[in-house]
Amino acid sequence: MKIGIVGLGYVGLVTASVLADRGHYIVGVDIDEMKINELNSGRIPFYEPGLQELVDKNKDKLIFTKDYGELLDSQFVFITVSTPTVNGKIYLDNVFSAATSLSKINKDSVIVIKSTVIPGTSRKIKKMLNREVLVNPEFLKEGSAIMDTIKPDRIIIGGDSEETIKFLEDLWSFTNSPIIRTSMEEAEMIKYAANSFLAVKISFINEIANLCEKIPNCDVNVIAKAIGMDKRISPYFLNAGLGFGGSCFPKDTAAITSFARDLGERLKIVEAAIEVNNERPFRAVKMMEELIGELKGKTICVLGLAFKPNTDDTRESVGLKIIRLLQEKGANILAYDPKAKVKDIKISSLDECIQYSQGIIISTEWDEFRGIEEKLRDKYVVDGRRVLNYKLLDRNKFRAIGLGE
Ligand code: UDX
């Protein structure tokens, strides 16, 4: 089958390479010429485990171009462009302009909206283009994006036409995942409800962690493990730490809470989850101050710039937020991350970072940071992601999220 993908970010490229691997012929379109050139020279613009190999393996079935004209005769065209939040509101121009460009070229293919859009958007596109549109939200996680696409927990397909829905169901049948048919609006809402719920779960356990820190002999990890064994709660997304970052949770929670307010409703729990999350970097810095005193003139090393392990993505990364706060307080910064690079921030080696700093804040739970307790012996340490064995450290020089004295 010939399939088009418009927007070659994480979702677009992963979807393209997985479908190419299933034998389909894929045309990937993006307006960013540099990205297209990079892809055509065989390079993936970001790090995602297994993706480079999958693209290399299927390169004869993958075309990357700026030209919408190449999408002619595609059975499906997936729209996977970004939908950022600008001034607290979702910015949908990318989706509308992709749909408009598409409508000029191709009259027959089914348009599938994979980008996260607020409820009602896809129906507007359907009316605007006067043809069938399906909504097929994406739940992939960076770091495990390929597996999440090959074997998702469920597939949501929203649309008006049973026949068109069936057509897309057939495309995804290789996953053997349960498929739920919904209205277009329900499909759009499911994505927001899922991400909001997970954000709430993270902020919930982070507030319990705050409380645990004030109670002697009380460790949030023990609490999380025990409550997670209740099937109604489940053990996932209960890791207390420095909160959620990345390209989805912060933007989607902002978009849906603002959408709710526009409709005269409030998502108070989600708003609180955002507030709790916004406090996390301040908390890490305060913990360091409590250990080390005034930060001005001190050298602090931040371990982890990626918003989570196994990615080089630094969007909404707590590590970067902590660095800005430390700089405002006049501290000298050292930084290390196994994958992420950031303009204006010099990356030193892990050993150098530790050696030349007085204080260390762990902001991402990279595996590489586990088992380094011996090296940290003389340092002041804030473990923001609970990677260290606190029993091996001097408690007068060490603070960890959610760990009571
Ligand atoms: C998320 C959703 O999981 C995915 O379904 C959606 O399509 C896009 O957004 P992603 O942003 O890749 O995926 O990362 P995820 O693994 O979900 O983690 C999000 C953030 O939450 C990270 O900053 C992570 O460190 C944090 N997190 C996650 C916690 O702080 N505690 C947890 O228990 C879990």
pLDDT digits (tens, 9 = 90+) for 254-313: 999 999 999 999 999 999 999 999 999 999 999 999 999 999 999 999 999 999 999 999
268: left (phi over 0), alpha (psi -120 to 50) or beta: alpha
pLDDT-based confidence at residue 108 (cuts at 50, 70, 90) = confident
**Ligand 1 pocket member 140 (CB < 6 A):** yes
Q: What are the C-alpha distances in Å from 399 to residues 199, 202, 357, 363, 403?
A: 24, 20, 16, 13, 8
**Ligand 1 pocket member 241 (CB < 6 A):** yes
Asked if the domains at 2-182 and 192-400 fall in one CATH topology, the answer is yes
Distance CA 162, CA 198 (A): 31
pLDDT greater than 80 at residue 106: no
CA max distance for the chain: 68
Of the given ranges (84-88, 137-141, 224-228, 317-321), which has the lowest mean pLDDT? Answer: 84-88
pLDDT above 70: percentage of residues in the chain: 100
Active site residues: 248
Distance CA 322, CA 330 (A): 13
Whole-number average pLDDT of the chain? 96
Instruction: Give the pLDDT of residue 105.
Output: 79
Q: For atom 22 of ligand 1, which residue has the closest CA?
A: 244
pLDDT greater than 90 at residue 28: yes
Of the given ranges (43-47, 155-159, 255-259, 320-324), which has the lowest mean pLDDT? Answer: 43-47
Q: Which of 384, 310, 260, 16 is nearest to 141 (CA)?
A: 310
Q: From the CA of 379, how far away is ligand 1's center (Å)?
A: 30
Instruction: Give the pLDDT of residue 405.
Output: 77
- For 102-123, what is the mean pLDDT? 91
Distance CA 329, CA 332 (A): 9
Class of domain 2-182: alpha beta
- For 224-231, what is the mean pLDDT? 98
Contact 355, 337 (CB under 8 A): no
Contact 291, 359 (CB under 8 A): yes
pLDDT greater than 80 at residue 352: yes
Distance CA 283, CA 384 (A): 9
Contact 125, 96 (CB under 8 A): yes
In this structure, the strands spanning 110-113 and 398-400 are unpaired
* Matching residue, tokens 């000029």: 104
**What are the φ and ψ backbone dihedral angles of 282, each rounded to 5 degrees?**
-65, -40
The end-to-end CA distance of the chain, in Å, is 61
pLDDT greater than 80 at residue 364: yes
What does 379-402 look like in DSSP terms, one character per residue?
A: SEEEESS--S-GGGS-TTSEEETT
Q: What is the CATH number of domain 192-400?
A: 3.40.50.720
Distance CA 377, CA 370 (A): 14
Q: For atom 24 of ligand 1, which residue has the closest CA?
A: 244
Instruction: Give the pLDDT of residue 324.
Output: 97
Whole-prediction pTM value? 0.95
Residue 201 annotated in ligand binding: no
Residue ranges of the domains in the chain? 2-182, 192-400
Ligand 1 atom with the smallest distance to the CA of 116 is 7
Q: From the CA of 246, how far away is ligand 1's center (Å)?
A: 7
Q: Write b or e for each residue in 209-237: b if 16 or more Cβ atoms lie within 10 A of its Cβ, otherwise e.
A: bbebbeeeebbbbebbeebbeeeeeeeeb
Radius of gyration for the chain, computed over Cα atoms and rounded to the nearest angstrom: 23
In this structure, the strands spanning 89-90 and 85-86 are antiparallel
Residue 116 annotated in ligand binding: yes
Distance CA 119, CA 123 (A): 9
pLDDT-based confidence at residue 233 (cuts at 50, 70, 90) = very high
The alpha carbon dihedral of 366, 371, 374, 379 has a sign of positive
Instruction: Give the pLDDT of residue 104.
Output: 84
Contact 250, 316 (CB under 8 A): yes
Instruction: Give the pLDDT of residue 17.
Output: 98
Q: For atom 33 of ligand 1, which residue has the closest CA?
A: 237
